[in-house]
Structure 1
Amino acid sequence: DAMAALDAESRRLVERHLTEMTVAGAALDDDAKERLRDLNGQLATLNTRFEKQLLSDSNDLAVLVEDAAQLDGLTAGEISAAAEAAREQGHDGAWLITLVLPTSHPHLASLTDRDLRRRIQEAQSSRGNRGNADDTKDLVLQIVRLRAQRARLLGYDTHAGAALADSTARSPQRVLELL
């Protein structure tokens, strides 16, 4: 009844606050809250490990260029940044193309050297998936499982449902409809 008396903006704010509290576990009993704390702790640890391993692998996969002609298409600033990155790694007179987090590297659109574009793309796509100490496949599986458990604990069918509950779309189904 109190909600009906509110104007639309106030009602939306209350609904949003309730959703935030629900996703945070406010409606859970004490045992479930303890389980949620445990899941959140495990996820925090795994997410940190994932980020460190991904960064380490990204650094290891940076592409060293020893022929300036291969950098055709990059701006002077991009070339200078690559030279500095190489210098910092002890490769004076070379250029180091560091990897970025999106799966597609921005230099791919401007570089004219096909072989260098291929090397960068292969490095980008193999991060965390080389079977080495920085391989993240097992971490990803653990994170996905724990996210699913947390979502079910909070009353959502999927992690996406819990993550979208306080968004404009509010549900995975709504996202699909919007798309």
Structure 2
Amino acid sequence: MTWKAPEIDRRHEPHLGAERALLTDWLNYHRDTLLHKCAGLTADQLRTASVAPSPLSLLGLIRHLTYVERAWFRQRFAGQDVPDLYDFAADPDAEFRVETADPEADFAAFRAEIEAADDAAAGRDLDEEFTLRRRDGSDERLSLRWVYLHMIEEYARHNGHADLIRERLDGVTGD
């Protein structure tokens, strides 16, 4: 039997609520949207690149956003000493190299990283700040609120990529 990405009961975008609830619910909506774009596809379809020469694929997006969840919530905001998931020194696009990747393992890692990211932010104040060291060596102060907003933006942008990739694979369109 061929492995297929599982169907998802996607949560709907929020319309009302307190700021923290809205940020959390919007992020969850976008997380679910990415999974929805992958639902029902085979491992080979998930690994199919968008268009040459780009290595961008739906599985690559799952792997990238797994890394991004870890980097922003756990490593940067919470200061957890957890290793990178990929060897970026050897290949800056390592998460997008999916030729031999195991989709089942990558989806499990994605879900686990979301849970760990949510745990890292649980009970923390949106105004809580941390210092980010930029590539140019400068430091910048950011807040947990900024991380939520950035993650919503990150998912929204990549969900647009996912729309186009999914349409190319099997013609499925929509949100």
Question: What's the TM-score, normalizing by structure 2?
Answer: 0.31
The structure carrying a bigger helix percent of its residues is 1
Q: Relative contact order, CA 8 A, sep 6+: which one is greater? A: 2
Q: Which has the larger radius of gyration?
A: 1
